[in-house]
Amino acid sequence: MSLKDMSREELLAFAAQAQKEYDDFKAKGLKLDMSRGKPCTEQLELSKPLLDVFDSSSDLHDKDGIDVRNYGFLTGISEAKELFAELLGVKPSMVIVGGNSSLNLMYDSVQRAYNFGVYGGSKPWCSCGKPKFICPVPGYDRHFGVTQTFGIEMINVPMGETGPDMDMIEELVKDENVKGMWCVPMYSNPDGYTYSDETVERIAALKPAADDFRVFWDNAYCIHHLVEADKADKLMNIFDAAAKYGNEDMIYEFASTSKITFPGAGVAVIVSSENNTQFITKQLSMQNISYDKVNQLRHVRYFGSAEGLRDYMNKHRAILAPKFELVSDMLEKELGGLDILRFHKPNGGYFISVYTLEGCAKEVCRLCKEGGVVLTGAGATYPYGNDPADSNIRLSPSYPTLSDLEKAMELFVISVKLASAKKLAEAMG
């Protein structure tokens, strides 16, 4: 029965039962963490053979004869560029291979644009009156943290099943102070949606008033499928689309192996037009001599090719898919008929995004924390940590064991029931 159809007396009785279940759970004294989308120990163990790729007798020259132990080759070894180019459907000349963190590459890209400008731009972002950024919401909290660090005004644009509201975006870019937009186009963080072909086309066709506008295309989950390949989402190639409109320079794409091998020791890339990569390389040369080419070569030899990397992801899927199934099944079984929570079951990525009744998300997170389960804070998926509806919560099923995840979800559904029933009862006076 929908809680919205209950009388105040029925809601209070429902809340009392949920309170008892909550108190019983809290008495167990559990301490569980679902706050970040981290690979679990079992996933990290998959990549341990990566450490054995080299030994004391290994040849540490790449195919071009470059000794990867030494200085130089700032933009990465050619074999690593080729692997990521094959993976992302671009030319190797468009790829700059960095260190372990794509977030670091994104931060640096904003910082360089803010202080020095971008290719084809007339001046640095900091020289304009008030730089602004388009932020599809809910979205990735660390994206929003980057732009907030530079004092860039962030503008919420609602996400839907096909991507962000493009009508709104096409209007916003008419403002020359709008300098860019964040995008997680494949299995978006946190909703798990993949941008439709129409959405990608419309982004590629944008005609911003600012000559230094950039789309930050964070393709973090491009091969992180939770279903068989034939059922997985497909994403249109943004550079193929942009080329039709002469907008290749407008796109910065990012990807990494952070959730494929070791998050602290992976390989990340920035992909863009050759105009942009040449411009960025000149700027990078003042802050770096080279990234970790030994690690680049290690990854190349371990995977062999983009296809080898894709095949490897089946091992991750075997670990992650049951966890996502468990979360989805419990949400549906325990809350499906109560009309107090909605969610989308994604085909890939690292999160399940849920929406409580308006005004309940913070209370649910508080109840979970006091009951022994730490979640990503309510509001974290919006700029400035402010979810106007106080309804979105990002669930991260990857890190806990299956048994711990089941316990965490037991507390979560109890907390949703308790917070929702109290909220509805209070509204009745």
All structural domains of the chain, each given as residue ranges with its CATH number in brackets, are: 3-44+311-427 (3.90.1150.10), 61-304 (3.40.640.10)
**One pLDDT digit (tens) per residue for the chain, 429 residues:** 899 999 999 999 999 999 999 999 999 999 999 998 999 999 999 999 999 999 999 999 999 999 999 999 999 999 999 999 999 999 999 999 999 999 999 999 999 999 999 999 989 999 988 999 999 999 999 999 999 999 999 999 999 999 999 999 999 999 999 999 999 999 999 999 999 999 999 999 999 999 999 999 999 999 999 999 999 999 999 999 999 999 999 999 999 999 999 999 999 999 999 999 999 999 999 999 999 999 999 999 999 999 999 999 999 999 999 999 999 999 999 999 999 999 999 999 999 999 999 999 999 999 999 999 999 999 999 999 999 999 999 999 999 999 999 999 999 999 999 999 999 999 998
* φ/ψ of residue 400, rounded to 5: -65, 160
pLDDT per residue over 251-301, tens digit each?
A: 999 999 999 999 999 999 999 999 999 999 999 999 999 999 999 999 999
Does the reported pTM lie above 0.95? yes
Whole-angstrom Cα distance, residue 376 to residue 381?
9
Going along 199-304, which residue ranges are E strands? 214-218, 251-256, 268-271
Sorted by sequence, the CB contacts under 8 Å of residue 411 that are 6+ apart come out as: 22, 25, 30, 367, 368, 371, 372, 373
User: Where would I find the H helices in 70-190?
Assistant: 78-88, 102-116, 141-149, 166-172
On whether the CB atoms of residues 65 and 297 are closer than 8 A, the answer is: no
R_g of the chain, CA atoms, integer Å? 23
Instruction: Please write down the HEC assignment for all residues of 37-63.
Output: CCCCHHHHHHCHHHHHCCCCCCCCECC
What is the crossing angle of helices 293-303 and 78-88, to 10°? 50
Which residue is it, tokens 């990735």? 140
